[in-house]
Amino acid sequence: MLSKQTVRKAAIVSTLLAIVSNVFIFTFPSIHPTRCSWHCSSSSTTGETVAPEALALWEKALFYAKRYVSDVVYQTLQAEEATDEGDIHMMAFGDPQIKGIWPNTPYRSRLDIFGNDHFLGHIYSTMSKRLHPDYVVVMGDLFSSQWIGDSEFYNRTRRYVSRLFHRDTTPLEAIQRENHDEDGLYKVDWDAWGKQFEREAQNNTFQFGFQDIHSWDPQRDEFLMVNLTGNHDVGYSGDATYQHLARFQQIFGKDNYWIEYNAGTDKAWRIVVLNDLLLEGPALQPEFVQYTWEFLYQLFERNFDGSTVLLTHIPFHKEEGLCYDGPELRYYPEVFEREPYKANLLRSQNHISEEVTNKVFNLVFSNDKPGIVLVGHDHEGCEVVYNRFNDQGEWVAAKDTVEGADYHLKEVTVRSMMGEFNGNTGLLTGHFNTNQKQWEWTFTLCPFAIQHAWWFAKAAALVAGFVWSLYIVL
Ligand SMILES: *[C@@H]1O[C@H](CO)[C@@H](O)[C@H](O)[C@H]1NC(C)=O
Ligand SMILES: *[C@@H]1O[C@H](CO)[C@@H](O)[C@H](O)[C@H]1NC(C)=O
């Protein structure tokens, strides 16, 4: 028999657990206050303050507890974070890869998927409330598979929009009203899209450029949202079809574009969004690869005099051992019975090939202004520096800057926001150094926790509520 006394104890314990775990999930950035904030030029280092080595364990614990509490207090009292006026604040999320629900998906997995969506949404909302980004970039692989139909693509977008990024779904519904099959389910008219694409290719009228855009929809958003293509969204070049590209562009926007800011001034800089899945082949639709190169040539011809932030999905070439993934390009076999038309085509790639990497960097970073590259794809995350040697026109990746190189470019592989990788948010700060008249870019990674921490907090709150009700009725 349950005694009222026992129930009371259980209620108190579960309430305490619920409070602690919920405080944790809503204040997780305070555990790493520096890594989870924009870089501030007044602090000379990008590292966290750390406890001196000599301290005893309990003293270290006290040190970190103090650091955490003081950040929580600061965040609660302070309405605005301390940053430098005019800095650029970009939040980058690596590969959310949300999975789909099918008629035969077991209930347990459905629950996991539901929880995972809200776990990712919790990271986004906590971080954006804390830091008010100017740009939010999702580094590609929004979904977990390129082998899905239009209706499933639409359904996952709905979850992406509403659960992950807490956005209004009306624009999406309007798209579905205009593009559907006889059952009213979303269906892209890729044939019409293809004809338009061909017309633009023939007349060379692709529109790639924008100026000073701070929001696609200023009524709705105070920031600019950029969705990159990933291999799971549009496929590698051996897989990418008109259907893939048409629906991505219809729902998530262009796959190749630049936005120039403050052009013609000292503070000129630009965002370059590149669909690097369609840079090399052999491709299923070689015209897509041509179109990507057309974009890069037009970009180059702008002779833009400013700093560049390059955003793309597949990392650039580097030797084995520098990052988690080594270089690898795989091709469909000569004889491929399942889909014979794919024989010999590019099947997957960990990196852009060496030759194409040199070519892209020479086109995008031709002006010697400081820049940075953010990529996704490998989930583990990594930072390398490309060192350019002018005499060879080659870019050599290394852990750090190499002496004698003529130009340095950092590439950050943004660690995934998935729970298995601890739910990360990448933070890129651009600061204009008025003495040097140059933009300086600083990247930090803010981890959250495995998705079970989020589940625990939610479950603990439910359990506490239940046990208190039991206590009342007993
Ligand atoms: C997408 O969602 C709609 C509405 O909930 C549903 O009728 C449809 O079957 C879903 N599509 C797929 C492929 O499951
Ligand atoms: C990126 O996707 C979101 C959600 O669909 C959308 O609101 C936003 O406008 C998209 N960005 C572009 C450039 O279309």
Q: Which domain holds residue 178?
A: 86-446
Report the pLDDT value the prediction gives residue 81, as an integer from 0 to 100: 60
Q: Residue 131 falls within a domain, yes or no?
A: yes
Triad 373, 418, 95: Cα angle to 5°: 35
Return all residues near 411 (Cβ < 8 A) that are at least 6 apart.
Answer: 315, 316, 372, 373, 374, 375, 383, 384, 385, 386, 397
3-state secondary structure of 191: helix
The whole-number pLDDT of residue 375 equals 98
- For residues 447 and 450, what is the distance between their CA atoms, to the nearest angstrom? 9
Q: Does residue 111 belong to any structural domain of this protein?
A: yes
Distance 97 CA to ligand 1 centre (A): 19
- What is the CA(84)–ligand 1 centre distance, in A? 47
Tell me which ligand sits closest to the C-alpha of residue 158.
Answer: 2
Nearest to 43 by CA among 76, 82, 88, 89: 82
Nearest protein CA to atom 6 of ligand 2, as residue: 252
Residue of 374, 380, 459 lying closest to 417 (CA atoms): 380
DSSP element (H, E) containing 90: strand 88-93
Per-residue model confidence (pLDDT) at position 53: 83
Ligand 2 pocket, residues with Cβ under 6 angstroms? 157, 161, 167, 216, 225, 227, 251-253
Token pair of 116 as six digits? 């995972």
What is the CB-side half-sphere exposure of residue 152 using CA atoms within 13 A?
A: 15
Q: Report the SS3 class of residue 326.
A: coil
Write the Ramachandran bin of 120: left for phi over 0, alpha for psi from -120 to 50, otherwise beta: alpha
Whether 441 contacts 410, CB under 8 Å: yes
- Residue of the CA atom closest to atom 14 of ligand 1: 152
Please give the number of the atom of ligand 1 that sits closest to the Cα of 101.
14
For the CA of 153, the nearest ligand: 1
- Cα–Cα distance list, 332 to 40, 353, 360 (Å): 48, 17, 25
Tokens of 43: 């602090």
Instruction: Supply the pLDDT for residue 209.
Output: 97
C-alpha–C-alpha distance, residues 205 and 199, integer Å: 8
Q: Which ligand is nearest to the CA of 252?
A: 2
CA of 269 from ligand 2 middle (Å) equals: 22
Residue to substitute in 104, 151, 160, 176 for testing ligand 1 pocket (most ligand atoms within 8 angstroms of CB): 151
Q: Which residues of 221-259 are buried (b: 16+ CB within 10 A; e: fewer)?
A: eebbbbbbbbbbbbbbbbbbebbbbbbbbbbbebbbbbb
Residue in the block written with tokens 């057309």:
294
| Residues paired with residue 186 on neighbouring β-strands, in sequence order | 180
Q: What per-residue confidence (pLDDT) applies to 40?
A: 84
Which pLDDT does position 82 carry in this prediction? 62
User: Which residues make Cβ contacts (< 8 Å) with residue 347, sequence separation at least 6?
Assistant: 236, 238, 239, 330, 331, 332
Q: Which of 227, 257, 273 to mutate to test the pocket of ligand 2 (most atoms within 8 A of CB)?
A: 227
Q: Which of ligand 2's atoms lies nearest the C-alpha of 253?
A: 14
Question: Omega into 96 within 30° of 0, i.e. cis?
Answer: no
In a domain, 25, yes or no: no
Smallest-distance ligand from the CA of 187? 1
329 Cα: distance to centroid of ligand 1 (angstroms): 35
Q: Tens of pLDDT along the chain (474 residues)?
A: 678 899 999 999 999 999 999 999 999 999 999 999 999 876 655 567 787 888 889 999 999 999 999 999 988 887 666 667 899 999 999 999 999 988 999 999 999 999 999 999 999 999 999 999 999 999 999 999 888 999 999 999 999 999 999 999 999 999 999 999 999 999 999 999 999 999 999 999 999 999 999 999 999 899 999 999 999 999 999 999 999 999 999 999 999 999 999 999 999 999 999 999 999 999 999 999 999 999 999 999 999 999 999 999 999 999 999 999 999 999 999 999 999 999 999 999 999 999 999 999 999 999 999 999 999 999 999 999 999 998 888 999 999 999 989 999 999 999 999 999 999 999 999 999 999 999 999 999 999 999 999 999 999 999 999 999 999 988
Parallel, antiparallel, or unpaired for β 407-413 and 394-398? unpaired
**What tokens were used for 326?**
């080594």
Distance CA 293, CA 471 (A): 68
* CA–CA dist 234, 251 (Å, integer): 12
| DSSP β-bridge partners for residue 429 | 89, 442
- How many residues can be counted in the chain? 474
Q: Which atom of ligand 1 is nearest to the CA of 148?
A: 13
Note whether 376 and 321 are within 8 A (CB): no
Nearest ligand to the C-alpha atom of residue 149: 1
| Cβ < 6 A, ligand 1 pocket | 149, 151-152, 155, 185
**Amino acid 45: pLDDT:** 54
Q: How many domains does the chain have?
A: 1
CA distances to 65, 213, 370, 426 from 91, rounded to whole Å, are: 26, 16, 19, 6
Residue 46 domain-assigned? no
Q: Which atom of ligand 2 is nearest to the CA of 217?
A: 9
> How far apart (Å, rounded) are the C-alpha atoms in residues 389 and 406?
6
Q: For ligand 2, atom 10, name the residue with the nearest CA.
A: 252
Give residues with Cβ within 8 angstroms of 132, minimum separation 6: 81, 89, 222, 223
Residue 436 lies in a domain: yes
Which of 155, 160, 188, when mutated, tests ligand 1's pocket best, judged by the most ligand atoms within 8 Å of its CB?
155
Query: Which pLDDT score is estimated for 305?
Result: 97
- How many Å separate Cα 29 from the centre of its chain? 18
What is the reported pLDDT for 78? 75
CATH number at residue 313: 3.60.21.10
Q: Please check whether residue 39 lies inside any domain of the structure.
A: no
Q: What is residue 42's predicted lDDT score, i.e. its pLDDT? A: 66
Give the strand order in the sheet containing 257-261. 209-211, 257-261, 269-273, 307-311, 371-375, 407-413, 382-389, 394-398
Does residue 133 sit within a domain?
A: yes
- Determine, yes or no, domain membership for 2: no
pLDDT at 145: 86
